[in-house]
């Protein structure tokens, strides 16, 4: 009995040590960032490509209020309710006192300036695919937007999900799965499309199915997924099915590249049905991009492996 207890305590100690090592934050250091003069025009493009206003503007915001990033959108998930933070340049309620390095670490490492792990409801697994130069531009653009003093309440999560340091284990298992690699022998247009879809656009965050732990099933990239229920009084629709956007007959196989590009510009599919739910905001963001970028997204979506919506 005593030997069993000692063995159990020893195993628990070893597990605690392993967890401690795996959960140590691994931030970027200042020398990782390039010397780069911020381009505000490009920062604005990345802002709309990334859908920043869709999550961080106040629920129901329109027009100029889309640029007041006061936070407060709620997302109800099987893990609890996540609440989008204020990312306005307010130095107290927002991110006005963040350095560029703080911002890049949040976007690619999922780490706060205090080295706390962010939950992956914030799509940093995809934002890690954005170039550092584009992130520097984005931070500079965010700094030009209106301040908001809105204080957003904490997430409402049950244990063990409320144990934030445990997110480190999720990162260890899943984060690298979302790293996007250049397509071999791709044209410049296809590479631009890949970058926008897998980086700023983070399309897989909604359109790729997830497992029980919230990790994306990357082998079924963009094959459609069950929608999280959106909490009351926030933007978006309730639960349902997010469509397959691969070139399979279950998805957009019968859409041409011009169909896709036009739908992102207009909000109408080839049958002239209008988009609904949260896709409306995505489309409105994409409509602000240059036509060449929408064409690049369309070309890339038609190039990826077709996937059925449901496994046999």
Which helix (H) or strand (E) segment is 226 a member of?
strand 225-227
pLDDT exceeds 90 at position 48: yes
Nearest-angstrom CA–CA distance, 127 and 161: 22
pLDDT at 101: 97
Greatest alpha-carbon span in the chain? 74
- When mean pLDDT is compared across 65-69, 268-272, 305-309, the lowest value belongs to 268-272
Q: Which CA distances in Å does 134 have to 64, 123, 139?
A: 23, 16, 9
Cα angle at 249 between 243 and 255, to 5 degrees?
Answer: 80
Q: How far apart are the first and last CA of the chain?
A: 50
Cα angle at 50 between 77 and 120, to 5 degrees?
Answer: 35
Confidence band of 84 (pLDDT split at 50, 70, 90): very high
Three-state secondary structure call for residue 260: helix
pLDDT at 2: 59
Nearest-angstrom CA–CA distance, 196 and 300: 9
Nearest-angstrom CA–CA distance, 142 and 62: 17
Average pLDDT for 23-32: 79
pLDDT at 161: 84
pLDDT at 228: 64
pLDDT at 310: 79
Confidence band of 269 (pLDDT split at 50, 70, 90): confident
| Token pair for 75 | 């997302």
Q: How many CA atoms lie within 13 A of 184 on its CB side?
A: 0
- The rounded mean pLDDT for the chain is 87
72: left (phi over 0), alpha (psi -120 to 50) or beta: left
pLDDT at 19: 53
Distance of alpha carbon 111 from its chain centroid, rounded?
14
pLDDT at 17: 56
Q: Say what percent of the chain tops pLDDT 70.
A: 88
pLDDT at 20: 52
Confidence band of 230 (pLDDT split at 50, 70, 90): very low
| Greater model confidence, 147 or 229 | 147
Average pLDDT for 172-193: 90
CB 169 within 8 Å of CB 160: no
Q: What are the φ and ψ backbone dihedral angles of 268, each rounded to 5 degrees?
A: -115, 140
275-297: pLDDT as tens digits: 877 788 899 999 999 999 999 99
Provide the residue ranges of all domains of the chain, joining segments of one domain with +.
Answer: 37-303
The number of beta carbons lying within 10 Å of the beta carbon of residue 119 is 18
Report which of 141, 117, 96 is spatially closest to residue 26, judged by C-alpha positions.
117
pLDDT exceeds 80 at position 15: no
Nearest-angstrom CA–CA distance, 113 and 190: 35
Q: Which CA distances in Å does 178 have to 5, 120, 126, 170, 219?
A: 41, 12, 6, 13, 11
In the sheet with 74-77, reading across from the earlier edge strand, the strands are 74-77, 80-83, 156-157
231-244: pLDDT as tens digits: 444 444 445 788 99
| Greater model confidence, 48 or 27 | 48
């Amino acid at each position: 009995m005593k030997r069993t207890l000692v063995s159990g305590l020893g195993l628990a100690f070893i597990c605690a040590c392993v967890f401690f090592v795996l959960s140590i934050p691994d931030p970027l250091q200042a020398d990782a960032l390039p010397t780069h003069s911020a381009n505000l025009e490009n920062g604005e493009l990345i802002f709309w490509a990334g859908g920043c206003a869709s999550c961080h503007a106040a629920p129901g915001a329109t027009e100029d209020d889309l640029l007041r990033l006061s936070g407060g959108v709620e997302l109800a998930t099987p893990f609890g309710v996540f609440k989008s933070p204020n990312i306005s340049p307010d130095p107290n309620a927002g991110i006005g006192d963040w350095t560029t390095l703080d911002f890049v670490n949040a976007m690619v490492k999922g780490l706060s300036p205090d080295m706390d792990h962010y939950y992956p409801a914030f799509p940093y697994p995809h934002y890690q695919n954005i170039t550092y130069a584009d992130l520097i531009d984005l931070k500079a653009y965010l700094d030009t937007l209106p301040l908001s003093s809105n204080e957003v309440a904490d997430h409402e999560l049950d244990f063990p999900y409320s144990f934030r340091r445990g997110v480190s284990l999720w990162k260890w298992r899943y984060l690298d799965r979302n790293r996007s690699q250049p397509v071999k022998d791709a044209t410049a247009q296809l590479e631009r499309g890949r970058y926008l879809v897998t980086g700023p656009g983070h399309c897989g965050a909604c359109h790729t199915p997830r497992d029980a732990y919230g990790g994306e099933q990357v082998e079924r990239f963009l094959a459609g997924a069950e929608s999280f229920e959106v909490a009351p009084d926030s933007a978006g629709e309730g639960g349902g099915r997010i469509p397959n956007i691969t070139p399979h007959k279950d998805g957009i196989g019968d859409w041409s590249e011009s169909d896709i590009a036009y739908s992102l510009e207009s909000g109408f599919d080839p049958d002239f049905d209008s988009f609904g739910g949260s896709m409306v905001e995505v489309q409105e963001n994409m409509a602000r991009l240059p036509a060449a970028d929408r064409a690049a997204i369309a070309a890339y979506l038609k190039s990826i492996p077709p996937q059925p919506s449901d496994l046999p």
